Amino acid sequence: MSSTIFPALASARRRSNLWDAAAFLCVFGALVAVGHVARGTLAPLAAPGAVSVRLDPAFLPGYAVRTTLRMFAALFASLVFTFTYATAAAKSRRAGMILIPILDILQSVPILGFLTFTVVFFMNLFPGRVLGLELAAIFAVFTSQAWNMAFSFYQALTTLPADLAEAADSFRLTGWQRFWRLEVPFAMPGLVWNTMLSMSGGWFFVVAAEAISVGDNTWKLPGIGSYVALALERRDLAAVAWAILAMLVVILAYDQLLFRPLVAWSDKFRFETTASATAEDPWVLKLMRRTILLNRIGDAAGVLAATIGGMRLALPVRLPVLGRGRAGPPSRAVDALWLAMLVAVLGWAGWRIVQFVGAELSWAEVGHAVLLGSFTLLRVAVVMAIACAIWVPLGVWIGLRPAWARRVQPVAQFLAAFPANLLFPVVVVGIVRFRLNADIFLTPLMLLGTQWYVLFNVVAGAAAFPGDLREVAANFRVGGWLWWRSVALPGIFPYLVTGLITASGAAWNAAIVTEVASWGSTQLTAHGLGAYIAVATARGDMARVMLGIVVMSAYVVAFNRMLWRPLHEFAIRRMTY
């Protein structure tokens, strides 16, 4: 008996030791690579226009590491922003009055607009060093990641089930404990899927983020985005293919190593009272359980997280979740004072904008920008309708089947990360060859940066759908259109509204990239506000850039106020469990 047991134990121990050695080498190698890249950020800044990117595929692994590190640095900043900004907006009614409209404006401001006004600031922090440009690029990627994560977390906090909130009150949890033990776990399924979407959104705009311009000076940071920009500029299709392959490898790597385990881990936070179907654990989780080193690190991290989340920290004033507080009626005097302050600040900001634009432009130019905005608005509405018609039914089907969700996950991440710039050669050649209308046939490029917000949020909503409600519908044999109208759509509605809000902002933002397409010396321009801003940015016309950004922000805020916000309030009132 001992001869059969002890060899098995010894064999298992040897396998664990081998896994430990492999894990140690991988972790150590990753740290060395990060250190090597970080050392390059302290190097002196090269002269503007100096060749810092080469199309030799041998340089792509290094470029991929640098781009990935920028994106994860931006993702960390996005998480910090999400946990602070969205929490303040959801738990304070007066703060939400200003924070949510600001978030609407921020998600509509194009990445070129952020780069225009922030590059000089970051470069002055570290004059003459690459680190200033790196921070500017990270901030630009942050602006393509943070907004949908903040909206997702805000949606979860505002739709928190009342019985869970009452249970937290019964256990006398402090604000800190309630946040980490109730609110973050409840928001985790949707937040994980939106985090994946944020990484993909970073890829979509990484081409613009890695090309930094100040006046007539341009620097290109080494990375996949600048590699793609150079390949398109030189019309090198082979280099474009190598860039696509590098993106695919990187996306598959962080999907397998990070996001697939996170999706499996977030399944345990689903709000339901009955057991539901689950997919098999990913291989990374199995490897961590076999590996002594990683297993102990994971246990230590879990103990640390539990200790931090269990600390009895509390704010001096308890801030109830929006719509769920037991406080008395709001003070009208305080509301009036707060509203007066907001009107004063907005009036001053509007006056400064009018002064700036009026000194350089005429009111006829303002009317022209507003008219172009209506063209872009029409494109956004068409794209949103197409995205809903395609991805709502498919997203529900995928989200209700965990095994299929794991299979679709890496494919959706890669397709969502695919930059529209890489399709410019096909689109431009096709439009020129068949003499097509650029106003119509450049519109599908906008769909590339919009549809995934709908898909990822619908999948998250369907994945978080309580299994007991599905069982009730099955027991009553509810099917067909009745099932969609009474079960599925109400169940995913809060997530769908969040996806539509972020998709709308992303569509406006993507207009900057998709309404102007070029391939070599051939350039096509559609009539729209995105093309207006892109052309003004290329010319260095700051007055028209500012005018375009202001008009675009006004369109987005008005659209959200008239449509998306009422739908979100309806979801809070009628579509929560």
Question: What confidence tens digit (pLDDT) does each residue in 554-563 have?
Answer: 888 888 888 8
pTM (two decimals): 0.79
Q: What are phi and psi of 400, to 5 degrees?
A: -80, -5
Per the model's pLDDT, the better-predicted residue between 108 and 479 turns out to be 479
434-444 pLDDT, tens digit each: 888 888 888 88
Name the average pLDDT for the chain.
Answer: 79
pLDDT at 4: 46
Question: Is pLDDT larger for residue 303 or for residue 59?
Answer: 59
The 3-state secondary structure of 8-50, one letter per residue: HHHHHHHHHHHHHHHHHHHHHHHHHHHHHHHHHCCCECCCCCC
Cα 69 to chain centroid, rounded: 16
The DSSP-derived string for 200-262 is HHHHHHHHHHTEEEETTEEEE-SSHHHHHHHHHHTT-HHHHHHHHHHHHHHHHHHIIIIIHHH
- Report domain extents, the chain: 41-328+361-574
pLDDT given at position 323: 44
pLDDT of residue 1: 44
pLDDT of residue 458: 93
Q: pLDDT of 394-403, one tens digit each? A: 999 998 888 8
Q: How far is CA 566 from the centre of its chain?
A: 23
Q: Tell me the HSE value of 265 on the side-chain side, using a 13 A CA sphere.
A: 16
Q: Please determine, for residue 135, whether its predicted confidence score (pLDDT) is greater than 60.
A: yes
**Confidence tier at 132 by pLDDT (50, 70, 90):** confident
Task: Measure the CA–CA gap between 498 and 564, rounded to whole angstroms.
Answer: 9
* pLDDT in the model for residue 20: 65
* The pLDDT value given to residue 389: 94
- SS3 for 138? helix
pLDDT at 335 over 80: no
Any idea which residue has 């979407």 for tokens? 197
Task: Count CB-CB contacts under 10 A for residue 180.
Answer: 18
Share of the chain above pLDDT 90, in %: 14
Tell me the average pLDDT across 270-289: 64
Rounded CA-CA distance 556/384 in Å is 14
Rg (alpha carbons) of the chain, rounded to whole number: 25
Which residues, 6+ apart, have CB-to-CB distance to 447 below 8 Å? 383, 386, 387
Q: DSSP code of 465?
A: S
The angle formed by the CA atoms of residues 335, 336 and 339, to the nearest 5 degrees, is 85
The DSSP line for 85-115 is IIHHHHH-HHHHHHHHHHHHHHHHS-HHHHH
* pLDDT > 70 in the chain, percent: 80
The length of the chain in residues reads: 577
Give the pLDDT confidence of 70-97 residue by residue, as tens digits. 999 999 999 999 999 999 998 887 788 7
pLDDT of residue 35: 66
Least confident interval from 12-21, 120-129, 508-517: 12-21
Query: How many Cβ atoms are within 10 Å of 556's Cβ, its own excluded?
Result: 27
Burial 408-430 (b: 16+ CB within 10 A, else e): bbbebbbebbbbbbbbbbebbee
CATH (one of 1.20.59.20, 2.40.10.340, 3.40.50.1580, 1.10.3720.10) for 41-328+361-574: 1.10.3720.10
Is the model's pLDDT at 277 over the cut of 50?
A: yes
Per-residue pLDDT at 387 exceeds 90: yes
SS (H, E, C) 498-539: HHHHHHHHHHHHHHHHHCEEEECCEEEECCCHHHHHHHHHHH
555 versus 351: the higher-pLDDT residue is 555
Mean pLDDT of 496-510: 86
- Over the stretch 170-225, which tens digit does the pLDDT of each residue have? 888 888 888 988 899 989 988 998 899 888 878 877 877 887 766 567 778 888 98
CA–CA dist 409, 199 (Å, integer): 13
Tokens 């006829």, residue located:
364
* The predicted structure's pLDDT at residue 272: 61
Whether the Cβ atoms of residue 456 and residue 528 lie closer than 8 Å to each other = no
Helix (H, G, I), strand (E, B) or coil at 129: strand
